Amino acid sequence: MQQLSSYVGGQWVKGSQGGQTLVNPATEEPLASASSEGIDLAAALEYARTKGGPALRALSFAERGAILKGMADALQAARDELLALGMRNCGNTRSDAKFDVDGAIATLLAYAELGTQLGAGKFIVDGDGLQLGRSPRSHGQHVSVPRHGVAVHINAFNFPAWGLAEKAAAALLAGVPVLSKPATATAMLAQRAMQVFVENKLLPEGALSLLVGAPRDLAQHLGAQDVLAFTGSGDTGEHLRALPNVMRHSVRVNVEADSLNAAVLGPDAGASGDMLELFLKEVVRDITQKAGQKCTAIRRLLVPAEHVATLRDDLAGLLAGYKVGNPADEDVRMGPLTNAAQLADVREGIGRLGAQGTLVTGGAQPLFPKGYFLAPTVFEFAPGAQADAVHAREVFGPVVSILPYADDAAAIVARGGGSLVCSLYSEDAAWLEDTVAGIAPHHGRVYIGHPKIELSPGPGTVLPQLVHGGPGRAGGGEELGGRRALGFYLQRVALQGSRPLIQGLAKAGTQV
């Protein structure tokens, strides 16, 4: 059985024996082990700060972007191998594995292009300079410069390739070195991606490190110039924010946590037509893609009360045609959950929903003697039901709840306490205006579906051009969003002094 290595201090290092066993979630076959025991985490961070940081800061945005382009090309060359790992270690169908790996490649390419646009500058000149007071020589200018620390990225199990690339692309382009910590359960794919980068000698020494196994006390070694970006449970995010060194040094923390994303069918959509078909298509995709293990997956369906019966029957019929099983079988359309703990957690969530709602299809029963499989599951709740189980906790699997509404859609959506994305399906401009105004403060993104948008990625696809994050329960953070993502890794500073001197200093930057 393979023992995964970390890449820290410019070399591959294996942790002490033991650690966590990684398995094929379709067969429960052991695949590898991962441990971080015995690795000097403080030294790994310091190596990134002292070697990777200066090397990246010496490069222009265009040169950093060229590195990202090289990383994307290298992943593309290794794509088939990475897809196979996604199927074995993550339980992905080939389509779901493509969603992860191709998402990583596309994000790296998007930030590579941004690097080209930002050009020869090494930092960002933020807006026009200002005359300060009466003297024209008294001048002020805001600039944003790379922080002299390391970006620690703690990623979730569901997107081992995309998660690594999504966070690393923005940090590296900003000029800040990265230590990436993938979730252990699916770390085989992240480690192989890192091997591809190292084998191709794409990055300066110390610019990108990888830690497999438990994070141990990694976050406790962060200081004032460092940043921490975490994707995972709200409880863990709260713990990280409360660490004494994080609070003492005001370490920047970005959290993407739980999210009860909603899809709202507008009153005008009716019981048939193109809009309803689009709604059903995108709901089914979000329930089944990666077995519902997406932070952006739809969890709550808000449907006009008079159309619930039609929607319920149509949705159940569509899901009945989805074959669940081992992704190695070509006709399988949905694979297993990632591990036994995830399966147990989703089953517990199904039990909570079933205590308050009516099961339409699916359920918590095991499908096969081996593997972590569940059927796509739908619950229906009565009109006006409190449905606390729906709004209190995310069930991170192929599970969705139907909630009838009258004229209170925005209020019901807001009960989720803050989400990454809400999707609306309507052509009623007045209804959309009112509903967007009601839900926008509770979300990082609002998706308005329309059947005439060709090849729409739907609400469940995170795009590098748009902000990914959300308030409240969703963690209160922001990632991506094009150039906006760089701000997390840059320090905005006001330069004040003689106009010729300040303008001379600003010449090394890129005006935005």
Q: Which DSSP string corresponds to 411-453?
A: HHHHTTSSEEEEEEE---HHHHHHHHHHHGGGEEEEEEE-TTS
Give the number of residues written for the chain.
512
Low-confidence stretches of the chain (pLDDT beneath 50):
none
User: What's the CA gap between 431 and 426, in Å, rounded?
Assistant: 8
- SS3 state at 380: strand
User: What is the structure's pLDDT at 18?
Assistant: 75
- The catalytic position among 166, 256, 282, 380 is 256
pLDDT in tens, 373-427: 999 999 999 998 899 999 999 999 999 999 999 988 999 999 999 999 999 999 9
Q: Hey, which CATH number is domain 261-464, 3.30.200.20, 3.40.309.10, 3.30.365.10, 3.40.50.150? A: 3.40.309.10
pLDDT at residue 270 in the model:
76
Q: Which residue has the tokens 């995830």?
A: 342
Helices (H), 1-78: 41-47, 53-57, 61-77
Residue 505's pLDDT is 92
Angle at 139 between CA 136 and CA 141, to 5 degrees: 145
pLDDT at 343: 95
Phi-psi region of 201 (alpha: psi -120 to 50; beta: other; left: phi over 0): left
**Residue for token digits 């010729």?**
500
Side chain identity at residue 326, one-letter code: N
Exposure string of 349-372, with b = 16+ CB inside 10 Å and e = fewer, is: bbeebeebbeebbbbbeeeeeebb
CB atoms within 10 A of CB 291: 32
Query: Parallel, antiparallel, or unpaired: how do β-strands 20-23 and 30-34 relate?
Result: antiparallel
How much is the pLDDT for 93?
Answer: 96
Instruction: Please name the fold of domain 41-257+476-511.
Output: Aldehyde Dehydrogenase; Chain A, domain 1 (3.40.605)
Give the whole-angstrom CA distance, residue 403 versus residue 401: 6
Contact 249, 219 (CB under 8 A): no
DSSP string across 206-269: TSEEE--S--TTGGGG--TT-EEEEES-HHHHHHHHT-HHHHHTT-EEEEE----EEEEE-GGG
Catalytic residue among 90, 166, 282, 295: 295
Known active-site residue 256: yes
Residue 17: predicted pLDDT = 74
Q: Report pLDDT for 407.
A: 86
Residue in this structure with the two tokens 């190596």, named with its chain if needed: 47
The phi, psi pair for 316, rounded to 5°, reads -60, -40
Q: How do the domains of the chain map onto residue ranges?
A: 41-257+476-511, 261-464
Is 250 exposed, middle or buried, given 0-12, 13-18 or 19+ CB atoms closer than 10 A?
exposed
Q: What pLDDT digit, counting tens, does each position of 307-365 carry?
A: 999 999 999 999 998 899 999 998 999 999 999 999 999 999 999 999 999 999 999 99
Q: Is 348 a catalytic residue?
A: no
Could you count the other beta carbons within 10 Å of the beta carbon of residue 296?
A: 23
